[in-house]
Structure 1
Amino acid sequence: MTGIDQYKKNKRSLKSILLAGSLLISGLLSAQQPKVLQHGAHRVGKRTDVEMATWRGYGMGQFIHWGVYSLFGGELNGNYYNGAAEWIRSWKDMPNGVYDSAYKQFNPSSFDATQWAKMAKQMGVRYVTFTTKHHDGFCLWPSKYTDYTIANSPCKKDIVKQVVDAYTKEGIDVYLYFSIMDWHNPDWRYDLKTKEDSVAFERFKLFTKKQLTELLQQYPQTKGLWFDGTWDNSWKKSGAFTDTLEQYLKTLHPGLIIGSRFRADEFGNRHVDATGVLMGDYEQGWERKIPKTYADVHGNDWDCVMTIPENGWGYQKKWLGHWKTTNEILEMTAQCVSLGGNFVLNFGPKPDGTFRPEEVEIAKEAGEWMKINNAAIYNCEYAGWEKQDWGYYTKKTNENKVYMIVFNVPVSRSLKVKPSKNTLVDKAYLLTAPGKTLSLEKLDYDASFIQLPSAQYKQPFVIVLETKEGGEKSDEQKAKT
């Protein structure tokens, strides 16, 4: 190689290095620039209005899955569907024609919305979410935008109106479940791959907007909408529309609460947008699971929706596998509230409109406990105290009261309490015996032992802690080790 050739080679290498460096710097600068989204979250942090404060303080809610699918109860020709019963239309052995004509037999002669609402009231429920339309597309209200409704069944009653009116009368707030995915509508698409798909889905979007408008106008008591069936590419590719629709619905119904399942940003992200900010008024990702720590909720409002059997939402003739006891349900409620969320328990009424005996019993037993101990559940929040093995802390919002909801009593009957920084326990007593102070044995670092009376505890109970500011540590405690 000549000197000139070597010079040219070195020059080319230098240019390549400079170009690579330039691209790297450009990439780093670009990565440092925050993304500006047109259809991402429109708010950072929690809503601070009255409606959302009410939602935040509910503590316990009820979910009801009911529709044509209850006629099958998860069973077809002697075979039981090992999954959510309301999905049976999508089961490979279920002829669509058989399912789509089943509404002609839907006639719940024993349905009584007042009895439903009274059972929920006795249980301690503060809000209910009711399925107006599931993935099958059958409407439990007489929608004028489709013939596939309760009005054309033998029932003919406006089920949604009866539920809304009965629960509202009992002082229970109503939220309406609505599935975007609609197996009955010919314009529904899972994806938009052709021009014909896009044209059909434009019609479907207009249909959806009309039905949602209809629900809010016909049932103005509604506090919020709970969406499902929004995970397919067709909806995820409609970020601009979903954003516009959400804003329209909130203009139509000021104060309306909508969770994070509804819409997508322009990149198809759901729940959380491309910048990592929650879209919606609360996080809906906690389905049949509970966060392990407060950090897992990322400072968002949230709730957990839970089934009694494993994955059993709509009515199932057989509850396969484990189903939860009342004490399990109560512990899940306490755990959710202790982490700043609400707990929502699902019920799946039978085709005649009544509940399973197991559901009735759980509602009754949970209600008996809630009647005595609801102060530790309603209008409570995350306390920020160090978790102990005996159970869960909740803190009364805007008060200096912390509740210990005790599920596991140590053999020593000594319950360790470790407050948050600059907080001291001033007084402790059983919620059921406010006049009898429990002894506090002081430990290092502002911790204490609460000694329980010698008694047998057959169900969870609550201890009230009255607190005050303090907790300044001694010089010896501050010393480094």
Structure 2
Amino acid sequence: IPLEEYDKFLDEFNPVKFDADTWVKMAKDAGMKYIVITSKHHDGFGLFDSKTSDFDVMATPFKRDILKELSEACEKEGIKLCFYHSIMDWHHPDYLPRREWEKTRTVDGAEFPRYVDYMKDQLKELITNYGELGVLWFDGEWEDTWTHADGVELYDYVRSLQPNIIINNRVDKGRQGMQGLTKEGDFVGDFGTPEQEIPATGLPGVDWESCMTMNDHWGYNKYDNNWKSSEDLIQKLVDIASKGGNFLLNIGPKADGTFPQESIERLATIGDWMDVYSESIYGTQASPIAEVEWGRITQKKIENGTRIYLHIFDWPEDGKLKLEGLKGRLSGVGMLIKDWERFTVDVDEKNYSYVVNLPDIEPNASDEVIWLDFKD
């Protein structure tokens, strides 16, 4: 879309039903610990009151700083606020290269270093005006005008403003496509960013976060009804946790500032599951053994040992769950639901083989969880 056409949408941006408290409360009730909101996408439009640009939310009929309201709501609810910020900027006159649709906009007078200075000024506003941030989530780094040296400099600059901030690997040039992990080399970035996919296995010593949509679009699209089920999203959360990652689940708000009803329903169902089973997700580590056919495994250090969480997606018809390769002495068993029925485990310590004789219950359809404690 040519700039002169795109700019006309400024007069239409007016999410009158936006309520930061509602957004943050829904995220918290779903079990989320942090929120990543777009401060500026590739189109260059800022959702905040920037003193360095007129192409922002204050130039619209809405005239409210969305990020400021979210920062206040997050502080109230104990949720970490994080910003997605695009390195690419189709609107700024100094950003290069030009788009293929920019038939009349030349590169005459454009200076890319001047754009980088502008971006840094905006980042300084974001880092200093909205409280302590959890993550700066960069994107749009793949064009040739952005270099490894640029990435290192920007990483160091952001860290100089907030030393403890976490910065993703898209600040630099080391990301390996949509699988998102950083290739070997002296690239900066604190975690990998798989997009719309989950790594096949755990990645010891590597921090990563899968970002994923609820349907097929990042932004709201009323024609896209290809929604992932709540069961699928819960199992994706568990799959990611079982491999040592975090789950960044996307929601595309509607033009009026509200969430689609389909997103609201899925968040609520995830929250109901987390109300019971969050212990098996928060603070856990990747599975100590290879993937199992009936579900996934997470683990957590406890006093004098390890607690193994068995996430059962497919409850065995014969009521027997087979496990191989868990080391240590079994010291306790249990479930996360209330009033769970006692069950037994047949143990072959010599061969690290176990058969869990599952209780006769109606398991959670998305993922039922039992735990086994092992002494070191």
Pairing 1:403–2:299 present: no
Q: Which residue of 2 aligns with 1:441?
A: 346
Tell me which moved more, 218-227 or 353-362: 218-227
- Cα distance, 1:323 vs. partner? 1.8
Aligned-partner residue type, residue 432 of structure 1: I
How far the C-alpha of 1:98 sits from its partner, in A, is 2.4
Cα 1:309–1:425, aligned 2, differ >3 Å: closer, same or farther?
same
Q: CA deviation at 1:419?
A: 4.0
Q: Based on CA coordinates, which of the two structures has the bigger radius of gyration?
A: 1
Specify the alignment match of 2:92 in structure 1. Answer: 185
Q: CA deviation at 1:436?
A: 4.6
CA contact 1:386–1:418 (8 Å) conserved in 2: no
Identity %: 35
* 1:242 alignment partner, one of 135, 139, 151: 151
Q: Distance in 2 between matches of 1:272 and 1:304?
A: 13
Aligned residue identity for 2:252: G
CA distance in 1, matches of 2:95, 2:273: 45
Q: Contact 1:423–1:468 at 8 Å: present in 2 too? A: yes
Q: Are positions 1:232 and 2:138 aligned together?
A: no
Deviation, 1:373, is: 0.5
Match of 1:390 among 294, 300, 304: 294
1:255 paired with 2:161, answer no
Alignment of 1:217-296 (within 5 A): 217-236=128-147, 239-264=148-173, 272=182, 275-276=184-185, 279-284=188-193, 286-294=194-202
Q: Distance in 2 between matches of 1:308 and 1:332?
A: 11
Q: Could you tell me which amino acid in structure 1 is paired with residue 355 of structure 2?
A: F
> Does the 8 Å contact 2:27/2:267 carry over to 1?
yes
- 1:473 corresponds to: none
Tell me what 2:102 maps to. none
Name which of 9, 13, 20 aligns with 1:113.
Answer: 20
How far the C-alpha of 1:198 sits from its partner, in A, is 9.5
Give the conservation status (yes or no) of the 8 Å contact 1:418–1:447. yes
Contact 2:168 2:189 in 1 (8 A): yes
Shift in Å, 1:308: 0.8
Matches within 5 A, 1:32-71: none
- Which position in structure 2 is the counterpart of 1:35? none
Q: In structure 2, what is the Cα distance between the partners aligned to 1:385 and 1:260?
A: 28
Three-state SS of the structure 2 residue aligned to 1:234 is: coil
Alignment partners' CA distance in 1, 2:3 and 2:242 = 45
1:375–1:419 distance in 2 versus 1, CA, 3 Å:
farther
Q: Which of these residues, 335, 339, 351, is aligned with residue 430 of structure 1?
A: 335
What residue in structure 2 maps to residue 69 of structure 1? none
Preserved contact between residue 401 and residue 467 of structure 1 (Cα < 8 Å):
yes
Give 3-state SS (helix, strand or coil) of 1:347's partner: coil
Instruction: Identify which range, 145-154 or 395-404, moves more after superposition.
Output: 395-404
Letter matched to residue 293 of structure 1: T
CA contact (8 A) 1:142 1:150 kept: yes
Residue identity matched to 2:69: Q
> 2 CA distance for matches of 1:341 and 1:246?
22
Normalising by structure 1, report the TM-score.
0.71
2:11 is the counterpart of 1:104:
yes
Q: Distance in 2 between matches of 1:412 and 1:395?
A: 25
User: Which residue among 294, 313, 318 is the counterpart of 2:223?
Assistant: 318
Q: How many Å apart are 1:241 and its aligned residue?
A: 2.9
Distance (whole Å) between structure 2 residues aligned to residue 264 and residue 407 of structure 1: 38
TM-score by length of 2: 0.90
Q: Comparing both structures, which one devotes a greater share of its residues to helix? A: 1
Q: 1:427 to 1:298 in 2, by over 3 A?
A: closer
Instruction: State the 1:411 CA deviation.
Output: 1.2
Deviation by residue 1:195-239 (Cα, 9 ceiling, x = unmatched)? x78961011111111111111111122122001111100013xx2
User: 1: CA distance between counterparts of 2:72 and 2:319?
Assistant: 47
Of the candidates 203, 208, 219, which is equivalent to residue 119 of structure 2? 208
Check conservation: 2:152, 2:188, Cα contact below 8 A: no
For structure 1, the residue ranges without an aligned partner over 5 or more in a row are 1-93, 470-481
Whether the aligned pair in 1 keeps the contact of 2:341 and 2:359 (CA below 8 Å) is no
| Coordinate RMSD, CA, aligned | 2.1
Q: Does 1:461 align with 2:372?
A: no
Instruction: Give 1:433 shift.
Output: 4.3
User: Whole-Å Cα distance in 2 between the matches of residues 121 and 177 of structure 1?
Assistant: 19
Q: Matches of 1:361 and 1:127 in 2, distance apart?
A: 19
SS state at 1:366 partner? helix
Stretches of 4+ moved more than 6 A in 1? Answer: none
Task: Report the counterpart of residue 142 of structure 1 in structure 2.
Answer: 49
SS at match of 1:130: strand
What is the CA–CA distance in structure 2 between the aligned matches of 1:230 and 1:242, rounded to whole Å? Answer: 9
Q: In structure 2, how many angstroms separate the alpha carbons of the residues matched to 1:213 and 1:386? A: 44
1:434 Cα deviation after fit? 7.2
Tell me if structure 1 keeps the 8 A contact 2:152–2:187: no
